[in-house]
Structure 1
Amino acid sequence: MMKAKKIAVPHILWIMLGILLLASLLTYIVPAGSFQRDDAGQVIAGSFAYLDAQTPINPFRMLTMIMDGLVQAGSIVWVVLVSGAMIAMILGTGAIDEIMNWTIYKLKDKNESILISCMFVLMVYLGGFGGTDALIAVVPIGVLFAKKLKLDPIFAVGVTTFGTLIGFGLGPVNFYSTQMLMGVRVYGAFVTMFISMNFFMIIGLIMLLSYVKKIRKDPSKSLMASEGWHPDKMKTDNTEDSLLKEVNLSKKSIVIMLIYLAQFLVIVIFPLIYKGDIGTYSLILAVSFVVTLVVGFIAGFSPDKIGAEFAKGVSGMTFVAFVIGLGRTLSIILVDGNIIDSIVYTLTQPLMHVSSSVTTVGITGLVALFDLIIPSNTSKAAILIPILKPVLETLSIHPTIGVQAFQYGDAFTNMVTPVLGWMIGSCMTAGVPFQKWLKWVLPKVFIFLLLSFVIIAIMTTINFVAF
């Protein structure tokens, strides 16, 4: 009997190159046209006209435009690289691990509902402010807590990865590259995103506690019951005591985390009180660079160690930066080929007859579908923003609403995509078959998406500008 071949999604490099080639070919097919624009570069509605001739971009010229894309994306690219170095430095200090382990140790003997709630909130905030796929490392702690509370492995993934992905997808600091590409103030929507993250955190916690209550009442209701799980079969051992040992929280770790969090306040508040000509990107890069160095010295690293950690962080973000450059190349091809306005005109004509809220809900749904095959928010933004931004301009929808729609679309389907190693690895670590996890989490993802549709529709209707 032949085994079915596993469907593999191509690497993002090939996806991006395929999209660039497709864009090049479309310049031969899509009628060239353009909108008139005002002095600020904004589209003048109703001014579209087709050109007399095509202006195609052949595949060879398309390849030569990659350099232009990388150069034009330079500001965003360098901010991403330095921010990556900062995150690597903070992770390298062990401050996040120490704070997390200290918190978990302090909570381990608390009331069950309090313990679960505090654990879940901690995981959401870890994902929201320090989220990387390295947080898969917290899943074994979730497994230990599941054993301690005699709960099933799905709970272990729920109290850890489910929480961290809510924070990672909705956190106020993880979408700076999308904001840059959309042309809005970075972290300008910090408060709105923070409130949104906490709202969905509460909904997620209610879902998790409801599941705990259900399997407490009837263990056969556990989705893992068919896999042989039962609370009476769970054995305790010394693993929990050895891993949940007492941790002393150092002042060094506290100071490092305070400095890390304080930078966002500086970036948000500084432009409001300083009337000079410092650009937003320049400010973010400078603050991130200073935080990286200061954190390294506070951690007691030698100058050579700081340099090595900085280089490691930059190298880890290099490919992400390259993808951003390819995304900018896509925009150049569409503009120089004079087809971006034609595409936008064609897309927006049907939307002129529906409410703007339908458009932003559609954007959320579109991004959610893309997320199933391209989990990286930066890669999706590089592909979609060149199209979405002029669509929003043409329909007079504020770009901050567009960013929020993009974030909602990106946030939840991470929990169900088999392409995300973070999700698959979490299930494997906890011993949860992926199809069982899907059965548990898929209804919750649908609820999250429906709620996000309602929120983004309201925001669009009242023309809410995120703050």
Structure 2
Amino acid sequence: MPDTLIIIFFIGIFAAAMTYLIPVGTFQSKEVHYLVEGVEKTRKVVDPASFTYATDAEGQPLYKQVSLFASGDDVGLLNFPFEGLASGSKFGSAIGIIMFMLVIGGAFGIVMRTGTIDNGILRLIDKTHGNEILFVPAMFFLFSLGGAVFGMGEEAIAFAIIIAPLMVRLGYDSITTVMVTYVATQVGFATSWMNPFSVVIAQGIADVPVLSGAGLRIALWVGFTLFGILFTILYAQKIKKSPEKSYSYQSDMHFRSQSVDIGKTSFGLGYWLVLITIVGVMVWVIWGVLVHSWYIPEIAGQFFTMGLIAGLIGVIFKLNDMTLNDMADAFKEGATVMITPALLVGFAKGIMLLISSADSTEPSVLNSILNSAAGAISSMHDIFAAWCMYLFQSVFNFFVPSGSAQAALTMPLMAPLGDLVGVNRQVSVLAFQLGDGFTNVVIPTSASLMGTLGVCRVDWGNWIRFSWRFMLLLFIFSSIVVIGAQMLGYG
């Protein structure tokens, strides 16, 4: 398989070619109001009846063709990587997530330098006595719950840094790590009954009672989570028996080479203090996300603090003969490890800039694709239309991997469109959820996926070779769910 950067660059060429074939269009925006736990919320969304193609002075459709180079605020084919890397704000993709990755990479670099993780993992393996497989369902369940309750996604990157070496030492591989961390969060994200970043926004925009229909969604969360656990356990057991069958076998050499002799180092007070610091910060971050809606800047600050405290403990207790200069070197080395996944995040964002704009009121190819898809669905039978809505949301997620942004763009179109063809609005929201969440598992434009693969050293091409079976089953099950919900009048 070609390197992930090569694959992304060819996708960029394809996106640029689309600008020569599809004229740009624009929507007008409007504000919608909805209630969340008795509090009125507002959000700017597209007006579904306002789409128009942009035209030139002669009334001909206007094309926003991507050139090789561009200047100013425009994006060209050969400068889309830079534009992607520099785009966004500290609150999101791409620059925010890139800086987040560099900071937590440096912080965990300090933690790893203390030797706490290595010694702790080896002692944990020594104490489990053949029950290692229990880690897989336990972690998958917890990460899936995090995805369902508070939209956990980017946070998986930080946890994967710790869990990847654990999984390899237990006899599994880094792909298992991606499954129990990031993939588990997306299973929860897709089937959530209360996720504030997807179902709550989508239901509010669709004028469906917020948090309604929770019974079916909770059942779906349980069912899909159990399926994910079973799939992962079967894969993990196969790899434990034959490690060379893993698609990440070569790259996992990095984690296998870090093994140290457990008998040489006692797990003393200093190591326990570092471990308590790590666990304490993890719990603190989850509390902050749930109670105070912390996001990238706040979470990055907490992890930096964790690295600082762990480093000072390492210096005071002379863990691995650590000095203050070692702290600085470890931070730089940890951040360096994140350079490759950070580049992937920026390149993926750059692809989106080739065909979209920051505002739906500005002419873009993405607006035209959205409008054409809505027009095609409007003439279908209700059951087939419901399934096509799910299919469309799955494909559209490649272009807009953000759940809240996709809801704001598509639900104002899909909800009234569903009324026209007889698709219940609750089903329209369900199609959005499943399409948005599950395809995050494979799309290279997802910053969280590319970041998690990066820290686990799993090439995206190898990830696709592994995950296509899992995705096929998710697609089949989701299709059955959407069609069944429409046939049974889910509301």
Q: TM-score range by the shorter chain?
A: 0.5 to 0.7
For residue 370 of structure 2, the aligned residue among 316, 330, 344 is: 344
For residue 230 of structure 2, the aligned residue among 196, 203, 207 is: 203
Q: Report whether the alignment pairs 1:83 with 2:82.
A: no
CA spacing shift, 1:89–1:198, aligned 2, 3 Å: farther
Match of 1:332 in 2: 353
What is the CA distance between 1:98 and its match in structure 2? 2.8
What is the CA distance between 1:20 and its match in structure 2? 3.1
Contact 1:66–1:325 (Cα < 8 Å) also in 2 = yes
Q: Look up the SS of the partner of 1:327 in the other structure.
A: helix
CA spacing shift, 1:116–1:295, aligned 2, 3 Å: closer
* In structure 2, C-alpha distance between the alignment counterparts of 1:79 and 1:462, rounded to whole Å: 43
For residue 166 of structure 1, the aligned residue among 163, 170, 179 is: 179
Contact 1:32–1:339 (Cα < 8 Å) also in 2 = yes
For 1:203, the aligned partner's letter is L
* In structure 2, C-alpha distance between the alignment counterparts of 1:442 and 1:455, rounded to whole Å: 20
Q: Report whether the alignment pairs 1:59 with 2:88.
A: no
For residue 309 of structure 1, the aligned residue among 313, 319, 330 is: 330
* In structure 1, C-alpha distance between the alignment counterparts of 2:310 and 2:222, rounded to whole Å: 28
For residue 290 of structure 1, the aligned residue among 298, 305, 330 is: 305
* In structure 2, C-alpha distance between the alignment counterparts of 1:169 and 1:265, rounded to whole Å: 16
Q: Report whether the alignment pairs 1:71 with 2:86.
A: yes
For 2:30, the aligned partner's letter is D
Q: Look up the SS of the partner of 1:131 in the other structure.
A: helix
* In structure 1, C-alpha distance between the alignment counterparts of 2:113 and 2:386, rounded to whole Å: 44
Q: Look up the SS of the partner of 1:45 in the other structure.
A: coil
Contact 1:170–1:197 (Cα < 8 Å) also in 2 = no
Contact 1:43–1:393 (Cα < 8 Å) also in 2 = yes
CA spacing shift, 1:452–1:86, aligned 2, 3 Å: farther
CA spacing shift, 1:200–1:223, aligned 2, 3 Å: same
What is the CA distance between 1:341 and its match in structure 2? 0.7
* Residue correspondences, number: 364
What is the CA distance between 1:448 and its match in structure 2? 6.0
What is the CA distance between 1:72 and its match in structure 2? 2.5
- For residues 21-420 of structure 1, what are the structure 2 equivalents within 5 Å? 21-39=13-31, 40-53=43-56, 54=62, 55-61=64-70, 62=76, 63-64=78-79, 67-75=82-90, 76=96, 77-108=98-129, 115=131, 117-118=133-134, 120-121=136-137, 130-132=159-161, 135=164, 138-139=167-168, 141-142=170-171, 157=172, 163-172=176-185, 184=197, 199-200=226-227, 202-204=229-231, 207=234, 249=267, 250-271=271-292, 280-300=295-315, 301-335=322-356, 338-352=364-378, 353=380, 358=387, 362=391, 390-391=409-410, 394-395=413-414, 397=429, 403-408=436-441
Match of 1:151 in 2: none
CA spacing shift, 1:243–1:286, aligned 2, 3 Å: closer
CA spacing shift, 1:267–1:82, aligned 2, 3 Å: farther
For 1:51, the aligned partner's letter is A
What is the CA distance between 1:299 and its match in structure 2? 3.2
Structure 1 residue ranges without an equivalent (≥5): 1-7, 143-156, 177-182, 213-221, 225-241, 273-278, 368-379, 427-434
* In structure 1, C-alpha distance between the alignment counterparts of 2:165 and 2:351, rounded to whole Å: 33
CA spacing shift, 1:126–1:245, aligned 2, 3 Å: farther
Q: Counting helix residues as a fraction of each chain, which structure ranks higher? A: 1
Contact 2:28–2:50 (Cα < 8 Å) also in 1 = yes
Q: Look up the SS of the partner of 1:395 in the other structure.
A: helix
What is the CA distance between 1:262 and its match in structure 2? 1.9
Superposed CA deviations along residues 247-292 of structure 1, whole A, max 9, x for unmatched, are: 85542343133134224324313425xxxxxx73332232232222
Q: Percent identity?
A: 14
Superposed CA deviations along residues 199-251 of structure 1, whole A, max 9, x for unmatched, are: 34642477479999xxxxxxxxx999xxxxxxxxxxxxxxxxx9786985542
For 1:27, the aligned partner's letter is T
Q: Look up the SS of the partner of 2:364 in the other structure.
A: coil
CA spacing shift, 1:454–1:131, aligned 2, 3 Å: farther
Q: Look up the SS of the partner of 1:284 in the other structure.
A: helix
For 1:95, the aligned partner's letter is T
Superposed CA deviations along residues 411-436 of structure 1, whole A, max 9, x for unmatched, are: 9x99xx9xx97599x9xxxxxxxx9x
What is the CA distance between 1:342 and its match in structure 2? 0.8
* In structure 1, C-alpha distance between the alignment counterparts of 2:14 and 2:367, rounded to whole Å: 17
Q: Look up the SS of the partner of 1:60 in the other structure.
A: coil
* In structure 2, C-alpha distance between the alignment counterparts of 1:173 and 1:260, rounded to whole Å: 23
Q: Look up the SS of the partner of 1:42 in the other structure.
A: strand
Contact 1:88–1:310 (Cα < 8 Å) also in 2 = yes
Contact 1:252–1:299 (Cα < 8 Å) also in 2 = no
Match of 2:4 in 1: 12
Contact 2:434–2:478 (Cα < 8 Å) also in 1 = no
Q: What is the TM-score with the length of structure 2 in the denominator?
A: 0.56
Structure 2 residue ranges without an equivalent (≥5): 32-42, 57-61, 71-75, 91-95, 144-155, 190-195, 202-217, 244-259, 316-321, 358-362, 416-428
For 1:92, the aligned partner's letter is R
Q: Look up the SS of the partner of 1:293 in the other structure.
A: helix
Q: What is the TM-score with the length of structure 1 in the denominator?
A: 0.58
Contact 1:36–1:43 (Cα < 8 Å) also in 2 = yes
What is the CA distance between 1:70 and its match in structure 2? 3.2
What is the CA distance between 1:393 and its match in structure 2? 5.7
For 1:36, the aligned partner's letter is Q
CA spacing shift, 1:452–1:199, aligned 2, 3 Å: farther
